[in-house]
Amino acid sequence: MQYKEMLDKIASGNGFIAALDQSGGSTPKALKGYGIEESAYSGDEEMFGRIHQMRSRIISSPVFTGDKVIGAILFERTMDGEVGGKPTPAALIEKGVVPFIKIDKGLEDEANGVQMMKPMPELDTLLARAKSLGVFGTKERSVINSANAEGIAAIVAQQFEVGKQVLAAGLMPMLEPEINIKSTTRAECDTIMRDEILKQLDALPEGTQVMLKLSIPAVAGTHDALVDHPKVLRVVALSGGYSRPDACAELAKNRGMIASFSRALLEELRAQMSDAEFDASLGAAIDEIFAASTQKSLATA
């Protein structure tokens, strides 16, 4: 797929985006969920080797194709690795799956109810390497914990600032100001964030587009204005700690939003499974998430 084909697939393709980008502190938890205890590996290299084996198994599975999985977000080490003897982005593209790369370097301590992204001094170098490998877009995460208008405005501004740097490098930014679904002011966070995003979108040059990766809103339909905005290529949803059935039920209430799930996609996969068991479990998860992304139950909203 060339860039235009990837753009069209992400803009209008039926399906969802797999988030295969667990990194750093979340890797041991992801491996434990996969059935690999910390005692089974020693040091970061072995740990990242194990998680790459898991991701390779997922990407190599016959059920993981561009028919239902239109994109996949990779951790930097995964992007630089290989699947089936090919660079990971090339292996995805061969299966009709558009590759993205996680670019953030983690979160700052909470201030004003939010956690901003840490500095990314080597971002331009990473973006150039990603583009050379055929990667289409990026993803960057920060977190909103409470309805502090000043904090939310700052976090959205930072997301767009980094997004413009990504656009300048010829890649598509996926902005992810995640709202903590356990926040006691979640619905208020949703509306403040949406309105700040709309301000930033309106300030972008005509013809510019970004993607948004957002928590599923507390009130269905809250993000309709973002879905409809001409400067938004696609709005995708994170599972945010929901179980897969709950995440899918909530997602299905929101028109125009497709999934970009991580834990909710992988939660039933185990290293000890036979290939047939693994493929059956992954296939069932893909089908359920695909349905929530493409078949909406708006009457229940």
Task: Please state the φ and ψ torsions of residue 77, each to the nearest 5 degrees.
Answer: -65, -35
Can you give the pLDDT at residue 159? 98
Element (H, E) at 134: none
Q: Which of 9, 95, 102, 176 is catalytic?
A: 176
Nearest to 159 by CA among 145, 179, 180, 139: 139
Beta bridge partners of 99: 72
Q: Is 267 designated active site?
A: no
**How far does Cα 37 stand from its chain's mean position?**
25
Can you give the pLDDT at residue 301? 39
For residue range 174-184, list pLDDT tens digits in order.
Answer: 999 999 999 99
Nearest to 165 by CA among 130, 126, 133, 123: 123
Q: Which of 9, 95, 139, 213 is catalytic?
A: 213
**161-167 long-range CB contacts below 8 Å, 24 or more apart?**
162/103, 162/117, 162/120, 162/123, 163/210, 165/123, 165/124, 165/127, 166/103, 166/127, 166/137, 166/138, 167/208, 167/210
- Residue 79 pLDDT greater than 50, yes or no: yes
For residue range 164-174, list pLDDT tens digits in order.
Answer: 999 999 999 99
Q: How far apart are CA 65 and CA 95, in angstroms?
A: 5
CA dihedral 6, 57, 257, 167 (to 10 degrees): -40
Average confidence (pLDDT) over 43-65:
93
Q: Are 176 and 142 in contact (CB under 8 A)?
A: yes
Give, to the nearest 10 degrees, the angle between helix 186-203 and helix 149-168. Answer: 40
| Domain residue extents for the chain | 3-300
- Residue 226 pLDDT greater than 80, yes or no: yes
Can you give the pLDDT at residue 158? 98
Q: How confident is the model at residue 298 (pLDDT cuts 50, 70, 90)?
A: low
For residue range 16-39, list pLDDT tens digits in order.
Answer: 999 998 776 678 888 998 999 989
Q: How far apart are CA 140 and CA 222, in angstroms?
A: 22
Fold that domain 3-300 belongs to in CATH: TIM Barrel (3.20.20)
Q: How far apart are CA 68 and CA 52, in angstroms?
A: 22
- Distances in Å between the Cα of 130 and the Cα atoms of 76, 107, 172 are 9, 22, 11
For residue range 82-120, list pLDDT tens digits in order.
Answer: 999 999 999 999 999 999 999 999 999 999 999 999 999
Task: Please state the φ and ψ torsions of residue 160, each to the nearest 5 degrees.
Answer: -70, -35
Q: How far apart are CA 104 and CA 26, in angstroms?
A: 14
Can you give the pLDDT at residue 263? 87
Can you give the pLDDT at residue 24? 64
Q: Are 172 and 137 in contact (CB under 8 A)?
A: yes
Q: What is the pTM of this model?
A: 0.95
Instruction: DSSP for 37-94, please give it.
Output: -GGG--HHHHHHHHHHHHHHHHHHSTT-STTTEEEEEE-HHHHHSEETTEEHHHHHHH
Q: Is 213 designated active site?
A: yes
Average pLDDT over all residues of the chain: 95
Q: How confident is the model at residue 299 (pLDDT cuts 50, 70, 90)?
A: very low
